[in-house]
């Protein structure tokens, strides 16, 4: 489908989205189930976050297992069986060392390709897209598998109602291929940023070289993070739209990191985009961190909410603090 607002400059090389695959572990965890062991309620979780359920992997299932499933489905969706590189965004790698991506590449039978993890927490998938686009634009790779995968269920403090009700497990993946910016699916630009002064708002204190023996559980200062999420995703999307010359009114779908429906609506309001144009699937899957954007894309594309030819802005925010946005005209891709 052609986009009437394209310019000749768009004939430049670009990384183009060709396939989309997702995987959720089988066990759905309802708000009511969590309310049985935590001082919370379905009503609080629904009204404060929009989340109705999330999926948690069984103990013994690792992030890499979910990543392999989503990766295989993305390759199938793209109609390819090989790539030149694998980039995996995750906060919950199988091990602190080595990276999870090489093992995922091996399990997918992709051969001795470059494969590495990206750690940008909930902004990880957009950072991984940018990294993969860089591999393509520098000629390192023609085709890259980009995966966002998480098993937060393993890092949540079961007694902490501030985090235990929010996060879910899952994986999503896309195939990017070398192409041109005037093709549907071309990633047309990126806006990325970070603020390490606020690194402590989202953290896993232990396990790293600074406080190796501290708590291994995920912590989040929800209220402060909420405000930062709205501001940063709003600013980042606005900066990207200005760079692309896309009027805000021309955006058909806003696919934001699925942390809280109130955040998604606030970002839409900042961008003067109808709230109905903000894709929401967190009600079904919760906050899946680096897997959030591809899971939301797949739900929207699968349901017909997101259609080929539509202008889409992806924007994400998370620990670091780190945030990022990219934009594309949605291609004719069937999620798998
Ligand atoms: O994915 C990375 C980025 N993450 C985000 O963007 C998350 C951003 N933050 C949020 O989405 C929200 O801040 C939360 C959903 C985490 C919390 O919602 P909130 O409206 O900011 O609640 P709050 O932390 O201000 O707490 C309000 C009240 C408090 O009680 P008091 O002090 O008013 O009596 C909390 O103790 O709600 C209480 N509360 C809960 N009550 C029932 C906090 N968590 C729960 C809970 N169930 N699960």
Residue 287 annotated in active site = yes
- Choose one of 138, 154, 180: the last residue of a domain: 180
Residue 199 annotated in active site = no
191 and 116: one domain?
no
223 and 250: one domain?
yes
63 and 135: one domain?
yes
268 and 174: one domain?
no
Confidence of residue 10 (pLDDT cuts 50, 70, 90): confident
Q: How close is the Cα of 12 to the center of ligand 1, in Å?
A: 45
Look at residues 294, 309, 296, 326 and name the one whose alpha carbon lies nearest to residue 250: 309
Residue 122 annotated in active site = yes
Give the residue numbers spanning the domain of 77. Answer: 10-180
- The pTM of this model reads 0.96
- Choose one of 165, 180, 195: the last residue of a domain: 180
- Beta carbon of 224 within 6 Å of any ligand 1 atom: no
Q: Which of 156, 162, 256 to mutate to test the pocket of ligand 1 (most atoms within 8 A of CB)?
A: 162
Number of domains in the chain: 2
313 and 189: one domain?
yes
How do the residues of the chain divide into helix, strand and coil, expressed in percent and rounded to 5? 40, 25, 40
pLDDT digits (tens, 9 = 90+) for 73-117: 999 999 999 999 999 999 999 999 999 999 999 999 999 999 999
- Choose one of 180, 205, 238: the last residue of a domain: 180
The pair of three-digit structure tokens given for residue 59, joined into one six-digit string: 């103990």
E strand residue ranges, the chain: 13-23, 28-30, 53-55, 85-89, 115-118, 143-150, 170-180, 190-194, 202-203, 219-220, 253-256, 311-318, 322-329
Mean pLDDT of 187-194: 98
In the β-sheet with 13-23, what is the strand arrangement from edge to edge? Answer: 13-23, 170-180, 143-150, 85-89, 115-118
20 and 163: one domain?
yes
pLDDT surpassing 70 at residue 1: no
């Amino acid at each position: 489908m052609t986009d009437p607002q394209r310019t000749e400059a768009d004939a430049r090389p670009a990384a183009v989205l060709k396939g989309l695959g997702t995987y959720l572990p089988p066990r759905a965890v309802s708000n009511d189930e969590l309310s049985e062991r935590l001082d919370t309620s379905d009503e609080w979780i629904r009204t404060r976050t929009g989340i109705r359920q999330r999926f948690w992997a069984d103990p013994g299932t690792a992030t890499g297992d979910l990543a392999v499933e989503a990766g295989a489905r993305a390759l199938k969706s793209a109609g390819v069986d090989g790539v030149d590189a694998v980039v995996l965004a995750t906060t919950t790698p199988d091990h602190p060392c080595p990276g999870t991506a090489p093992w995922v590449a091996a399990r997918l039978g992709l051969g001795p390709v470059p494969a590495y993890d990206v750690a940008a927490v909930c902004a990880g998938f957009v950072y991984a897209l940018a990294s993969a686009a860089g591999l393509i634009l520098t000629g390192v790779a023609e085709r890259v598998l980009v995966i966002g995968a998480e098993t937060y269920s393993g890092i949540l403090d079961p007694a902490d109602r501030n985090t235990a009700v929010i996060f879910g497990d899952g994986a999503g993946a896309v195939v990017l291929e070398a192409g041109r910016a005037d093709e549907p699916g071309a990633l047309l630009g990126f806006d990325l940023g970070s603020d390490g002064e606020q690194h402590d708002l989202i953290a896993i204190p232990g396990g790293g070289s600074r406080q190796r023996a501290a708590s291994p559980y995920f912590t989040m200062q929800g209220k402060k993070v909420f405000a930062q999420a709205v501001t940063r995703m709003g600013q980042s999307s606005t900066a990207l739209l200005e760079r692309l010359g896309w009027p805000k009114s021309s955006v058909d779908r806003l696919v934001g990191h699925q942390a809280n429906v109130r955040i998604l609506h606030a970002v839409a309001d900042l961008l003067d985009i109808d709230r109905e144009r903000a894709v929401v699937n967190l009600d079904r899957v919760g906050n899946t961190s680096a897997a959030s954007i591809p899971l939301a894309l797949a739900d929207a594309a699968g349901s017909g909410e997101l259609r080929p030819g539509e202008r889409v802005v992806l924007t994400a925010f998370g620990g670091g603090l780190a945030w990022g946005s990219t934009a594309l005209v949605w291609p004719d891709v069937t999620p798998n």
